[in-house]
Amino acid sequence: MSMLQIQRPRKAVYLRGEIACHKCMAPIHVYKVKTLPEEFSVRCSKCGDRGIYRKRAVVVQELPERRKKPRK
C-alpha cells in the first residue's frame, strides 16, 4: 500500500475570536486570531464605533470545519 492510502483524514478546526464592543456590547468576530498583534483596532458592525482592544481579551471559539461540499 502506498503511504497516501494509510493516512487518516485530518480533523480540521476553524478558529474564530470574539470580543465585545466597548460602546454597545455587541460581539465582534475576529478571524486569524494567531496573527493578531498585542493591541489591535476593529470597527463594530452594529454601532460603527472603532476601539482599541488587547489580544488577551479575545475569547477563542473552536468551530467545526466549514465546507460546502463533502470530501470524496
How many domains, in total, are found in the chain? 1
Reply yes or no on whether the pLDDT at 7 is more than 90: no
Residue 1 has pLDDT above 60, yes or no: no
Q: Decide if 1 is inside a domain.
A: no
Contacts of residue 32, Cβ cutoff 8 Å, sequence gap at least 6: none
| pLDDT digit string, tens, across residues 9-57 | 666 667 889 999 999 999 999 988 888 999 999 999 999 999 999 999 9
The reply to whether 4 falls in a domain is no
Domain that holds residue 49: 12-64
Residue 29 in any domain: the answer is: yes
Q: Is the distance from CB of 47 to CB of 23 less than 8 angstroms?
A: yes
Q: Report the alpha-carbon distance of residue 43 to residue 20 in Å, rounded.
A: 11
36 part of a folded domain: yes
Task: Tell whether 49 is covered by a domain.
Answer: yes
The answer to whether position 44 is within a domain reads yes
Residue 53 in domain: yes
